[in-house]
Amino acid sequence: MSLRDYTFWFVVGSQYLYGPEVLETVASRAQEMADKLNASGKLPCKVVYKVTAKTSKEITDVIRDANHDESCAGIITWCHTFSPSKMWINGLVNLQKAWCHFATQYNREIPNDEIDMDFMNLNQAAHGDREHGFIGARLRAPRKVIAGYWQDADVQERLGKWMRAAAGAAFSRSLKVMRFGDNMREVAVTEGDKVEVQAKLGWQVNTWPVGELADGIAAVTQAEEDAMMREYESLYDIATDNLDAVRYQAREEVAMKKMLDREGCRAFSNTFQDLYGMKQLPGIATQHLLATGYGYGAEGDWKVGAMTAIIKFMTEGQKGGSAFMEDYTYHLVPGQEYSLGAHMLEVCPSVAAERPRIEVHPLGIGGKEDPARLVFEGHAGSAVVVSLVDMGGRLRLICQDIECVKPIMPMPNLPVARVMWRAMPDLKTGLECWILAGGAHHTVLSYDVDAEQMKDWARMMDIEFVHISRDTTTESLEHELFLNDLAWKLK
Ligand code: MN
């Protein structure tokens, strides 16, 4: 399924107290609101008006149907009138989809001349949404609350961003990850409890033999290799005479894609320590797979591979780009404090500022032939870096706001793609916070999601979330981590 295939069900709370005329008005307005929201162009997925619910049975029924509908990624609830909340309990305790309480109102203005008690009884969202909010709080139900006028662009945009997070949660629950080889020897942060991850996030993380991939590479036909080379030539500048190296990457990509698609996997990991039967570490092969929507993690880092796939899915149709990334080295000149992110090869060209070049250079580690890779600079702009770590007993998602810049120097001898950024709130504080939180060197760098969306996603998956922002201090973060540790031990 693509992002656009998901739907969100609009469920409007009411009761029989008001008589049929009011209920008909509520239902027709709810349909009108769904239609106008869909026509706004601000939402990535369709809103489907389902019911003006007046009884516990209607609510329980619609939530059961939502749970069983694969295309439904969440419900959006709102109370045009007053809806007594005990009617919602039996439904909400069984809700398995994302929930947004949309605290809005049909009319924007209080009509000075028209307003009377009939108007007040029909238009009492201010009243009904508080009753509705209480039951969400009382049940400790994971939910998003979005308040504001439903025709305002900023309100619609927030609803759209929440929809992307909810679709990401649905995608997560069906995600399969293909591991070629194990994690890099002795590395801790790329490890994780795959059973816990499957229970919480839904990921099916399994391994396939690298030897099978090597056989697949050998079996790629000349026509398949030629077609992939034409694709590379259409997208990238060839800046090497070693076309044989590029052709080998094309064969690797064809073979990896076949295995991924055969098994229904949308993310993969590999490691330079296990390239049995392969001539090169995949470079452009992995980079181009990333550009077409697959997730990837190096050194066996299947967690970052899966997160890359999820964020790419959430941001379908957006233009900023999302990439597997690694914090590599710092520029610590006062007033010019930047991180330089890169990897051995595998940065996704979706974040490129210019048309990438295909180059071939030796790789200092792995003992294989010189791999072909895409070399480019990342573009300027606001972004986040995201890391999922296994704390033992729970998962923690860390998200840091960053400001990417055009790299301040050309670095002509650096043979890999690179992105330069300023971490929030500043390099030193941001680094202290990242290290205190246990964030990995591998991240997903995305220009298209923001911290609020990642927080929404983490809440839907019931995992810990830590945000390092413009306002974070080392002291406040240490306090938050201490309290989180206590809270998650009790949960
Ligand atoms: Mn790495």
pLDDT single digits (tens) 101-153: 999 999 999 999 999 999 999 999 999 999 999 999 999 999 999 999 999 99
The residue extents of the domains of the chain are 3-172, 176-490
Distance 81 CA to ligand 1 centre (A): 54
174-216 pLDDT per residue, tens:
999 999 999 999 999 999 999 999 999 999 999 999 999 999 9
Distance 84 CA to ligand 1 centre (A): 54
Distance 271 CA to ligand 1 centre (A): 9
Instruction: Give the closest residue to 321 by CA, choosing from 330, 312, 329.
Output: 312
Distance 89 CA to ligand 1 centre (A): 47
Residue 434 and residue 450: Cα distance in Å, rounded? 17
Residues with CB under 5 A from ligand 1 (ion): 298-299, 326
Distance 412 CA to ligand 1 centre (A): 22
Confidence band for 311, pLDDT divided at 50, 70 and 90: very high
Burial class from Cβ neighbours inside 10 Å (0-12, 13-18, 19+) for residue 272 reads buried
445-465 pLDDT per residue, tens:
999 999 999 999 999 999 999
Element (H, E) at 87: helix 86-92
Question: Strand 442-446 relative to strand 322-333: parallel, antiparallel, unpaired?
Answer: antiparallel
Burial 87-123 (b: 16+ CB within 10 A, else e): bbeebbeebebbbbbbbbbbeeeeeeeeeeeeeeebb
Distance 342 CA to ligand 1 centre (A): 9
Distance 299 CA to ligand 1 centre (A): 6
Joined tokens for residue 470:
């413009």
In eight-state DSSP terms, residue 95 is: -
Distance 237 CA to ligand 1 centre (A): 26
Distance 176 CA to ligand 1 centre (A): 21
Distance 298 CA to ligand 1 centre (A): 6
> What CATH number does the domain located at 3-172 have?
3.40.50.10940
377-423 pLDDT per residue, tens:
999 999 999 999 999 999 999 999 999 999 999 999 999 999 999 99
Distance 300 CA to ligand 1 centre (A): 9
Phi, psi of 25 (to 5 degrees): -60, -45
- 216 to each of 253, 278, 409, how far by Cα in Å? 10, 10, 41
Note the Cα 189 to chain centre separation in Å: 20
Instruction: Look at residue 380 in the predicted model and tell me its pLDDT.
Output: 98
Joined tokens for residue 75:
């419900």
Distance 197 CA to ligand 1 centre (A): 21
> What are the DSSP calls for 246-306, one per residue?
HHHHHHHHHHHHHHHHHHT-SEEE--TT--TT-SS--SHHHHHHHHTT-EEESTT-HHHHH
